[in-house]
Amino acid sequence: MEKKQDTTTSVEEKGHDIIVEESQRIPGAQPPEAFTGLKVGKIKDKAAGFKGVTAALGHATKYMAPGQAFKTMFKLNQKGGIDCPGCAWPDPDDERSKMGEYCENGIKAISEEAQKKTIGGAFFSQHSVSEMRQWSDYEIGKQGRLAEPMVLREGTDHYEPISWEDAFKMIGEELKALDTPDRAVFYTSGRASNEAAFLYQLFVREFGTNNLPDCSNMCHESSGHGLAQTVGIGKGSVTLPDLYEAEVIMVIGQNPGTNHPRMLSALERCKENGGKIITVNPLPEAGLQKFINPQRPGKMLTGGTQLTDLFLQVRVNGDIALLKAIMLQLLHEEQKNPGTVFDWDFIKEKTEGYEAFITELKNHDFGDLLKASGVSREQIKEAAAMLKKSKKIIICWAMGLTQHENGVDNIKEVVNLLLLKGSIGKPGAGTCPVRGHSNVQGDRTVGIWEAPKPAFLDKLKATFGFEPPREHGYAVVDAIKALHEEQASVFFALGGNFMSATPDTEYTAEALKKCSLTVQVSTKLNRSHLIHGKKALILPCLGRTDQDMQQAGQQFVSVENSMGVVHTSQGVLDPPSSHLKSEPAIVAGVAKATLGAKSKVDWDKMVSNYDHIRDAIEQVVPGFEDYNRRVREPGGFYLPNGAREQKFNTPSGKAVFTPTEVPEKKLGDGEYIMMTVRSHDQFNTTIYGLDDRYRGIYNERRVVMMNKADMQEAGLNAGDVVDLVGKHKGEVRVASKFIVVAYDIPRRCVATYFPEANVLVPLDAIAKGSKTPTSKWVAVEIRKV
């Protein structure tokens, strides 16, 4: 790869704010002196449409062989087809679009996974780790599919090929040499199938540890805790048809146009059925304004569907104040006309804690709540008026609620509003946490959890005959600390890009470099392969699009979507290399090399036919009865969900009202609240391109979006280069040289892209109760360079 000199570095050559060692800096710690290429255009007010179609097709034809692109596209999210490796939005239960049940970013996801280029020994012989560290995440991800197992031996700077047998042997020897299994950390990405995830946790627990951190620790862990404590299940209660018949849908702290684009079709159907939509977000997002459905040519011709009826531009983390203000207004209306606003039958029969909750609510001053939320009195009253007359209300949310110190309370406040209206467990009503990765919910269901319940462990023991560990293991932030403090020394990742996904980038990099061995199971190159332990392995696996041939023939896997539907996924393409293994086969290989003859599990049998894995899941996990038959039914099956039926699995058997506090975190002079967001050209840590089309930001990712009045007050102009400085508990973190972009965002709030700004997110700034990093609330100073 031809590289330019620093003085003419292109946008594509900028990387992370990671300082590992003075001799191994990664671009971003000291970005180029001059930026070239940033273009700022108009913020868009509509999503998808013809532009979305052309962007998707352009990406597919650029990175995939044409025949493979079209073969894959028309199998994507179809019954019996390929589950999109992107988000976890559910597929329609009934008829699915023959034009293609996918979105622009779904096509980008499979184009990344099914790239026509491959990289193996020759590539790694040409490019050293030191060289590749200088590349941006965008460059790293575009090199091609990994084609063979690779090893980085201690003291060397080039990965080299290794046989599968030797790779498994290296892992087994390293694990067996540990003085306790708790010195190993086993991370899981939300892409792993039910079969791979179950087999993985089975191996890890037979090995002897519950150190099973996963990506949900960093995103919806707050949702799981808040929902479990209030309605008895850490999952949403609604189904896709519920959205169609809702009278009001609130979308809070979520940008579905970029992160869950197929959700827009459901919102469109709600609107066409007479429903109203309230959106709550610090940024106006195109996908929540107008949607031009590319599956409906008529909509393409007529300009699409207006989605949002009321946009509440809340301050960052002003959501509790906003919800309390709305509920105070509803209480006022209820007191004026008793029995017309609150669902008293539901409250009396199905809930507890109402009196304590309402007493606390009355203690708040309405004016103070308006100030804390940043939303006007008139808009609060308008929102309350829409909710007052509605009985079918759904509230959807994502990271904008969960990644705060008060993330768990945010979810409890959402539930409070729904309980007042009796809007849980009835058609068209309920909770809807929108998951960000295709099987992150399923992985937790089948056992990927550092804090397993005793009943699950008892079932493992009864089914397999070994005593699983009972002590809780490390969540993500705990795992990073343990690695950094050398309380753990082996890091194994089943998918994902841990280095780029985690907070406190420099600290995390230091932690990984202290490992004796790091292992990454991956489909393509990413940053985590380049920030490694003393020894490192890359184990290339099959992707969702690839055919998976085992002893019994071609296999399928299964996943669980955001709404608790378990269904199949089966690849259609020939694997790009004969040296790839499936994730279940890799897990089995590691297990055999580590546990040997003492294992109670027949790993070869499990991998020969994945029906055997599903039989085991059926024995261990409630709700999977007759798994192999039901999952083969078109569309799959729903898992049990008590809240959906107003059966609340809480100690009292009732849903719980919860008094919460309005956050009172204060900013210092010259400080702003920074939140990290995704661009339209990325999914999680995967960077598809350098344009954020909907926000009008092109060809650059190192930007900070600021309110114009804040810019004027700070003496800044659009295009100025600034450093972002975070101060936390006496520590100073710096993200150098970001470009100021004027944007429609509340005062004293700024937005930056993830993962470029992760360096500013302190590892110990976490949500109370869930340990989710507070990536949506980081106090920063902005200093002109």
CA 118/CA 147 separation, integer angstroms:
6
pLDDT at residue 6 greater than cutoff 80: no
How high does pLDDT run on average in the chain? 92
What would the mean pLDDT of 633-640 be, rounded to a whole number? 96
Model pLDDT, residue 35: 57
Model pLDDT, residue 24: 32
* Residue bearing the bigger pLDDT, 423 or 91: 423
pLDDT at residue 16 greater than cutoff 70: no
CA 232/CA 656 separation, integer angstroms:
9
CA distances in angstroms from 545 to 82, 614, 693, listed in the order given: 6, 21, 27
Model pLDDT, residue 332: 97
The amino acid occupying position 153 is R
Model pLDDT for residues 122-143, shown as the tens digit of each residue: 999 999 999 999 999 999 999 9
CA 443/CA 216 separation, integer angstroms:
9
What would the mean pLDDT of 562-575 be, rounded to a whole number? 95
**Exposed / middle / buried, residue 158 (Cβ in 10 Å: 0-12, 13-18, 19+):** middle
3-class secondary structure, 431: strand
Q: Is the peptide bond before 755 cis (omega within 30 degrees of 0)?
A: yes
Q: Which residues of 748-760 are buried (b: 16+ CB within 10 A; e: fewer)?
A: bbbbbbbbbbbbb
The amino acid occupying position 377 is R
What would the mean pLDDT of 366-391 be, rounded to a whole number? 97
CA distances in angstroms from 758 to 475, 505, 548, 631, listed in the order given: 18, 6, 36, 39
Residue 294 near residue 268 (C-beta atoms within 8 A): no
CA 201/CA 195 separation, integer angstroms:
10
Residue 776 near residue 754 (C-beta atoms within 8 A): no
pLDDT at residue 22 greater than cutoff 70: no
In the structure encoding, which two tokens stand for residue 384, read together? 């309350």
pLDDT range class, residue 50, cuts 50, 70, 90: confident
Question: Per DSSP, what are the bridge partners of residue 279?
Answer: 251, 311
In the structure encoding, which two tokens stand for residue 275, read together? 């429903």
In the structure encoding, which two tokens stand for residue 476, read together? 């993500």
pLDDT at residue 188 greater than cutoff 80: yes
- In this predicted structure, which of 255-259, 338-342, 740-744 has the lowest mean pLDDT? 255-259
- In this predicted structure, which of 292-306, 337-351, 656-670 has the lowest mean pLDDT? 292-306
Model pLDDT, residue 102: 81
pTM of the model: 0.94
Cα first-last separation, the chain: 31
CA 180/CA 120 separation, integer angstroms:
34
Which residues lie closer than 8 Å to 437 by C-beta, 6 or more apart? 86, 87, 88, 189, 190, 191, 215, 219, 684
Report CA 302 to chain centroid distance, whole Å.
34
Model pLDDT for residues 474-532, shown as the tens digit of each residue: 999 999 999 999 999 999 999 999 999 999 999 999 999 999 999 999 999 999 999 99
Which residues lie closer than 8 Å to 534 by C-beta, 6 or more apart? 154, 515, 516, 517
Task: Give the count of beta carbons closer than 10 Å to the beta carbon of residue 124.
Answer: 23
pLDDT range class, residue 171, cuts 50, 70, 90: very high
Angle of helix 319-336 relative to helix 377-388, nearest 10 degrees?
Answer: 60
pLDDT at residue 12 greater than cutoff 50: no
What would the mean pLDDT of 245-249 be, rounded to a whole number? 98
CA distances in angstroms from 16 to 311, 526, 757, listed in the order given: 34, 12, 8
* Residue bearing the bigger pLDDT, 2 or 285: 285
What would the mean pLDDT of 65-78 be, rounded to a whole number? 82
CA 430/CA 127 separation, integer angstroms:
52
Residue 707 near residue 746 (C-beta atoms within 8 A): yes
CB-side exposure of 415: number of CA atoms within 13 Å? 37
Model pLDDT, residue 7: 27
Residue 304 near residue 398 (C-beta atoms within 8 A): no
Apex 41 CA angle, 39 and 47, nearest 5: 120
Model pLDDT for residues 25-44, shown as the tens digit of each residue: 343 334 544 455 899 999 99
CA 749/CA 672 separation, integer angstroms:
5
In the structure encoding, which two tokens stand for residue 394, read together? 């759904």
What would the mean pLDDT of 261-270 be, rounded to a whole number? 94
> Quick one: how many helices (H) and strands (E) in the chain?
30, 33
What would the mean pLDDT of 369-395 be, rounded to a whole number? 97
Percent of the chain surpassing pLDDT 90 = 83
Model pLDDT for residues 274-293, shown as the tens digit of each residue: 999 999 999 999 999 999 98
CA 191/CA 301 separation, integer angstroms:
36
- In this predicted structure, which of 17-31, 414-428, 438-452 has the lowest mean pLDDT? 17-31
Model pLDDT for residues 82-125, shown as the tens digit of each residue: 888 888 898 888 777 766 788 888 888 888 888 889 999 999 99
Best CA proximity match to 491, nearest among 523, 527, 448, 535: 535
CA 394/CA 414 separation, integer angstroms:
10
3-class secondary structure, 211: coil
Report CA 481 to chain centroid distance, whole Å.
22
Residue 725 near residue 783 (C-beta atoms within 8 A): yes
Residue 141 near residue 169 (C-beta atoms within 8 A): no
Model pLDDT, residue 593: 98
What would the mean pLDDT of 192-214 be, rounded to a whole number? 98
